[in-house]
Amino acid sequence: MSKVLEMRNICKSFYGVKVLKNIPLELESGEVLALLGENGAGKSTLIKILNGDYQMDTGKILIDGQEVDFKEPSDSEKHGIKMIYQELHYAADLSVAENLFIGHLAKGSGPIGKHLIDWKKVNQDAKKALGLLNVDIDPKAMMRDLSVIERQIVEIIKAIYGNAKILVMDEPTAALTPPEVEMLFKIVNDLKAKGVAIIYISHRLEEVFHIAQRVMILRDGNHVATKNIEEVNSDSLVELMVGREIEERIIELSDNKATAPALEVSGLNKFGSFKDINFKLYEGEIVSIFGLLGSGQISLTRSIFGAERADRGSIKVYGHERKIRFAQDGKNAGIGFVPIDRKVRGLVLDMSVLKNLTLSNWNNLLTLGFFKNKKERAHSQKWIDALGIRMAGGIDTAVKFLSGGNQQKVVLARWLEANVKVLILNEPTWGVDVGARSDIYDQLDMLAKQGLAILVVSSDIHEVLAISHRILTIYDGQLTAEFSHKEASQDLLLNAAAGRLA
Amino acid sequence: MIKFLKKTGLQDVIALIVILVGIIVIMSLSSNLFLSPRNITNLLIDSTTVGIIAVFSTMLMIGGGLDLSVASTAALCGVIIGVFQASLGIFPAVLIALAAGAIVGLVNGILVTYVGINPLITTLGMFSIARGLAFVFSNGLTIPVFDLSGEHQAAYDRFTILSEGSFLGLPYPVIAMLLLFALGVTVLHLSSYGRAMYAIGGNELASKMAALPVKRYRVTAYVLSGISAAIAAIFLTSRLYAADPRAAPGVELTVITAVILGGTSLAGGKGNLVGTFLGVMILSALLNGLRLQSTSTDLQNIIQGLVLLAAVGFEQVRTGNVNLDIRKMFSK
């Protein structure tokens, strides 16, 4: 094996803050190097330097032993480096073939033909390219009609077809279902066999053991260690990432004694999304809805809150029938909602922590439409202390400067400040690092003990098993089974969520 | 300079003050009249139409809206005063004009939020409709607004004093504008309405998910924008003793230029009224100075357009949307 990439002593500062300190990175052809670290550890900065988005302050990058200088992304692409981002950049209304060859579609021959695209050849070439990885995707299909994994595969094929030698995959499995993850791993293995070197970034440690040969860990801009995968286990990795030991989470779920359901959903339907949904959620209870992505769970919870509208059915909160058409109706009924993508739907990023925290409930903070400054600060501070929200620079810091976990807590705190009785959380720990994750679990536990009814939607089976009193599985828009915490197991859940009931 | 502009806040205000002082120095060097008390008073009174509207346009734009119909609405409201004063008396006519401004804003707001028409298109349509209505109601003629019959002298005197009176040397329209700016600053930074504007402009989706009544706030912002056009029309009509369907030509452009120059983001979520105030003063000083040198209206229009484009260009650089590297431009 040969070294395809070497990064030496990479340093980078932003506004005088050192975010990368003398980082070394070596990558050999045909290997997968997992790059690990908590959010803010410097992973993405390092990757952006490799891609030419940022320029390093000092340090060297060598490709095949030759020093290179990347000023912009096209420079790194010329040297065979390709990024596969979480959010893919593709043209949704063009076909797979067009996306693959965009910019150099095959032309025909003859005086006129040479100015026209030879669609037959384009589609044949596309078929051949797709065949490289043995995937069954129609080259004529529109990108928007593809599943997430299929789009990702197209993007990967486009990269290797463009002779990429080094692929950087940033959380590629974040939006994938378990079978799709398997598919991706198979493709990664194929790529390895073809000699492609891969830098793999993921928050999911079990994936790393599955796929990587070596791991490199960053913490606070420092290179902590680079190790062969055999030398580490998941505890030691977490310790290297976080810099301290994290105790195993012991789930201690109190028996639920409440009688009146906090939330009662009956006969809820939305055409094309979910069908005949019936369930109850009791005070002090954490119930998870587990299903493969796209099974209707997101639409269902959005409809309970009022972010979208169900066709028919009834929603009762503490016995009172509620007509929920808008988010305001949900809030007035005492329902809070923490969306998946907090940066897009959760937070006003440029506004301060304080203002984001009180956004859903101004009622007690206003006199004649003007804010009572002291009271607002006191209210916010209470939640910051209670949830342990950490931020440099205090309560007036723009919320965009907080880490993922702390941002998530701000959204959570907003609904607590709004005094909701039922809290719905969608994928509560996506993009949240290991340390903050167990923090959030503890807080949900605490809130449930205080009587909050919590409904969680998650595609992370470990999370679902760890935090729920009860688990409902959803498949193709319908609830398929219910498990108590004691009954539930990985196998049972996966089968029920895949529509295979024992 | 570019790095300087990238930092927000106080630096922006200082930069605007530097530009304003620069214009004042250049204009006073090229004309003796520029700094004369009489011209300063004229300049300030001239700035009030733009200034009064700009207060509410700033709030609207921070909330992610845009209103191109303000000048036409002002002309329409002026004409409405002119039409109704004869039969109903001047003060009922003023009230009707205010209501008309509110209705125009309400229609804009409903079309933008509930029907979902792009604000640019909606208010561009209204720009044309309101101006057209002004011509229809006035038959294209300038309507005199003073006491023709001689029976309501007192009422008309009170109307005229709106523009001719002064307090501590400051004409009433200027005082009204300053008060509206002060009110605007208070509302923007301390009230729920102001907070909502920043939230909705900053992230509309997140505001919706936080259960903020986004549509209601946005409609309110358009209604206030319409009312501000009516207020500007009242002072304008008072000053001219007449209602002219051609009134306030190009004022929407000046307003938007001033607001953007003042640092309000076209994308919403960012901006402040101190910046807008300085933007209004910069443009007023610039246009007044050009007029003193008998610059043609055409050239004034060209310069104003350039200022608008430069202001938007600087905003792009400041927000990092473009990387202005001159060397790179020429190396390729």
Q: What residues contact A21, with CB distance under 8 A and at least 6 apart? A: A11, A221, A222, A223
Q: Two tokens at A431?
A: 């993009």
Separation CA A328–CA A102 (nearest Å): 44
Q: What is the pLDDT of residues B148-158, one digit of tens each?
A: 777 778 888 88
Residue B3 has pLDDT above 60, yes or no: no
Domain boundary among the residues A395, A419, A443 is at: A419
Instruction: Map residue A75 onto helix, strand or coil.
Output: helix
Q: What is the pLDDT of residues A219-252, one digit of tens each?
A: 888 899 999 999 988 788 878 887 765 555 555 5
Confidence class for position B139, pLDDT limits 50, 70, 90: very high
Kindly state whether residues A157 and A276 are assigned to the same domain. Answer: no
Confidence class for position A371, pLDDT limits 50, 70, 90: very high
Closest CA to B202 of B267, B141, B256: B267
* Mean pLDDT of chain B, nearest integer: 90
Q: What pLDDT score does B330 carry?
A: 53
| Domains of chain B and CATH, by start | 11-19+32-322 (1.10.3470)
Q: What pLDDT score does B4 carry?
A: 42
Let me know if residue A320 belongs to a domain. yes
User: Which residues face A322 on adjacent strands?
Assistant: A315
Contact check, Cβ <8 Å, B205/A344: yes
Separation CA A97–CA A56 (nearest Å): 36
Closest CA to A305 of A421, A447, A413, A406: A421
Confidence class for position A465, pLDDT limits 50, 70, 90: confident
Q: What residues contact B236, with CB distance under 8 A and at least 6 apart? A: B49, B74, B78, B247, B248
Instruction: Map residue A478 onto helix, strand or coil.
Output: strand
Residue percentage of chain A with pLDDT more than 70: 94
User: What is the arithmetic mean of pLDDT over B174-193?
Assistant: 95
Let me know if residue A128 belongs to a domain. yes
Q: What pLDDT score does A247 carry?
A: 52
Report DSSP state, residue A195.
T
Domain boundary among the residues A419, A437, A471 is at: A419
Closest CA to A34 of A168, A174, A222, A224: A168
Q: What pLDDT score does A88 carry?
A: 67
Let me know if residue A163 belongs to a domain. yes
Let me know if residue A401 belongs to a domain. yes
Question: Do B258 and B248 touch, CB atoms closer than 8 A?
Answer: no
Pairing of strands A274-282, A422-426: unpaired
- For chain B, the distance separating the N- and C-terminal CA atoms, rounded to the nearest angstrom, is 24
Kindly state whether residues A59 and A206 are assigned to the same domain. Answer: yes
Contact check, Cβ <8 Å, A350/B193: no
Confidence class for position A253, pLDDT limits 50, 70, 90: low
User: Which residues face A352 on adjacent strands?
Assistant: A398
DSSP result, A426-446: ESTTTT--HHHHHHHHHHHHH
What CATH number should be reported for the domain holding residue A197?
3.40.50.300
Ranking A105-114, B9-18, B253-262 by mean pLDDT, the lowest is A105-114
Q: What is the pLDDT of residues B241-265, one digit of tens each?
A: 999 999 999 899 999 999 999 999 8
Q: Two tokens at A300?
A: 């269902």
Separation CA A484–CA A251 (nearest Å): 14
Which phi and psi angles does B244 have, rounded to 5°? -120, 125
If you measure CA to CA, which chain B residue comes closest to A370? B191
The residue segments making up the domain with residue A450 are 262-334+421-502
User: What is the arithmetic mean of pLDDT over A425-446?
Assistant: 84
Contact check, Cβ <8 Å, A371/B213: no
What distance in Å separates residue B246's CA from the closest CA in chain A?
A: 38
0.90 exceeded by the pTM?
A: no
Give exposure, B17-48, as e/b (b: 16+ Cβ within 10 Å). Answer: eebbeebbeebbeebeebeeeebeebbbbbbb
User: What is the arithmetic mean of pLDDT over B81-93?
Assistant: 90
Kindly state whether residues A393 and A415 are assigned to the same domain. Answer: yes
Contacts A327 to B, Cβ<8 Å: 208-211
Kindly state whether residues A193 and A45 are assigned to the same domain. Answer: yes
Closest CA to A307 of A270, A282, A351, A359: A270
Neighbours of B131 (CB within 10 A): 23
Q: What pLDDT score does A401 carry?
A: 87
Which phi and psi angles does A465 have, rounded to 5°? -70, -30
Kindly state whether residues A222 and A358 are assigned to the same domain. Answer: no
Let me know if residue A432 belongs to a domain. yes
Question: Do A497 and A329 touch, CB atoms closer than 8 A?
Answer: no
Q: Report how far Cα B314 is from the mean position of its chain's Cα atoms.
A: 21
Contact check, Cβ <8 Å, A327/B190: no
User: Which residues face A287 on adjacent strands?
Assistant: A455, A470
Closest CA to A28 of A192, A205, A259, A260: A192
Ranking A263-267, A333-337, A495-499 by mean pLDDT, the lowest is A495-499
Question: Do A407 and A428 touch, CB atoms closer than 8 A?
Answer: no
Instruction: Kindly list the distances between the CA atom of residue A343 and the CA atoms of A340, A347, A437, B150, B179, in Å, as whole numbers in the listed order.
Output: 9, 6, 17, 65, 38
* Mean pLDDT of chain A, nearest integer: 86
Q: Two tokens at A202?
A: 């993921």
What distance in Å separates residue A413's CA from the closest CA in chain B?
A: 12
H-helix segments, chain B: 2-6, 10-30, 37-62, 70-88, 90-110, 119-138, 153-164, 172-190, 192-202, 204-209, 214-240, 251-261, 273-292, 297-318, 326-331
Instruction: Map residue B17 onto helix, strand or coil.
Output: helix
User: Which residues face A456 on adjacent strands?
Assistant: A288, A425
Q: What pLDDT score does B98 carry?
A: 97
Contact check, Cβ <8 Å, B191/A327: no
Closest CA to A5 of A72, A73, A82: A82
- From A328, A330, A359, residue closest to B199, measured CB to CB: A359
H-helix segments, B31-69: 37-62
Q: Counting every residue, how long is chain B?
A: 332
CA B201, B310, B1, B44 dihedral sign is negative
If you measure CA to CA, which chain A residue comes closest to B216? A328
Question: Do A137 and A94 touch, CB atoms closer than 8 A?
Answer: no
Q: What pLDDT score does B6 carry?
A: 44
Quick one: which H or E segment has residue A321?
A: strand A320-322
Contacts B190 to A, Cβ<8 Å: 370-371, 373
Separation CA B50–CA B286 (nearest Å): 14
**In the block, which residue shows the tokens 């979480």?**
A86
Domain boundary among the residues A365, A388, A419 is at: A419
Kindly state whether residues A227 and A320 are assigned to the same domain. Answer: no
Instruction: Map residue A173 onto helix, strand or coil.
Output: coil
Q: What pLDDT score does B326 carry?
A: 52
Residue percentage of chain B with pLDDT more than 70: 93
Q: Confirm or reject contact between B206 and chain A (CB < 8 A).
A: yes
Instruction: Kindly list the distances between the CA atom of residue B35 and the CA atoms of B26, B49, B167, B173, in Å, as whole numbers in the listed order.
Output: 11, 21, 20, 20
Q: Two tokens at A282?
A: 């009791």
Confidence class for position B223, pLDDT limits 50, 70, 90: very high
Q: Which residue has the higher pLDDT, A431 or B86?
A: B86
Q: Which residue has the higher pLDDT, A16 or B125?
A: B125
Q: What is the pLDDT of residues A157-170, one digit of tens each?
A: 887 777 788 999 88
Confidence class for position A460, pLDDT limits 50, 70, 90: confident
Highest mean pLDDT: which range of A55-64, A114-123, A466-475, B103-112: B103-112
Separation CA A433–CA A128 (nearest Å): 40
Kindly state whether residues A40 and A146 are assigned to the same domain. Answer: yes
Kindly state whether residues A74 and A127 are assigned to the same domain. Answer: yes
DSSP result, A102-136: TT-PPB--STTGGGSB-HHHHHHHHHHHHHHTT--
Q: Two tokens at B139?
A: 């038959």
Q: Two tokens at A490?
A: 């990985």
Confidence class for position B332, pLDDT limits 50, 70, 90: very low
Contacts B198 to A, Cβ<8 Å: 348, 351, 355
Please give the single-letter amino acid code of residue B283: L
Separation CA A313–CA A477 (nearest Å): 14
Kindly state whether residues A35 and A10 are assigned to the same domain. Answer: yes
Q: What pLDDT score does B7 carry?
A: 42
Q: What is the pLDDT of residues B267-285, one digit of tens each?
A: 899 999 999 999 999 999 9
With 0-12 / 13-18 / 19 or more C-beta atoms within 10 angstroms meaning exposed / middle / buried, residue B306 is exposed
Contact check, Cβ <8 Å, A327/B211: yes
Kindly state whether residues A25 and A132 are assigned to the same domain. Answer: yes
Let me know if residue A247 belongs to a domain. no
Contact check, Cβ <8 Å, A337/B209: yes
Let me know if residue A294 belongs to a domain. yes
With 0-12 / 13-18 / 19 or more C-beta atoms within 10 angstroms meaning exposed / middle / buried, residue B99 is middle
- How many domains does the structure of chain A reveal? 3
Packed helices B37-62 and B273-292: angle between N→C axes, nearest 10 degrees: 140
Quick one: which H or E segment has residue A228?
A: strand A222-228
Q: What residues contact B182, with CB distance under 8 A and at least 6 apart? A: none
- For chain A, the distance separating the N- and C-terminal CA atoms, rounded to the nearest angstrom, is 48
What distance in Å separates residue B213's CA from the closest CA in chain A?
A: 7
Kindly state whether residues A72 and A189 are assigned to the same domain. Answer: yes
Separation CA A184–CA A150 (nearest Å): 10
Residue B324 has pLDDT above 90, yes or no: no
Contacts B186 to A, Cβ<8 Å: 370
Kindly state whether residues A225 and A156 are assigned to the same domain. Answer: yes
Let me know if residue A248 belongs to a domain. no
User: What is the arithmetic mean of pLDDT over B187-195?
Assistant: 95
Instruction: Map residue B11 onto helix, strand or coil.
Output: helix
Q: What pLDDT score does A136 carry?
A: 80
Contacts B213 to A, Cβ<8 Å: 328
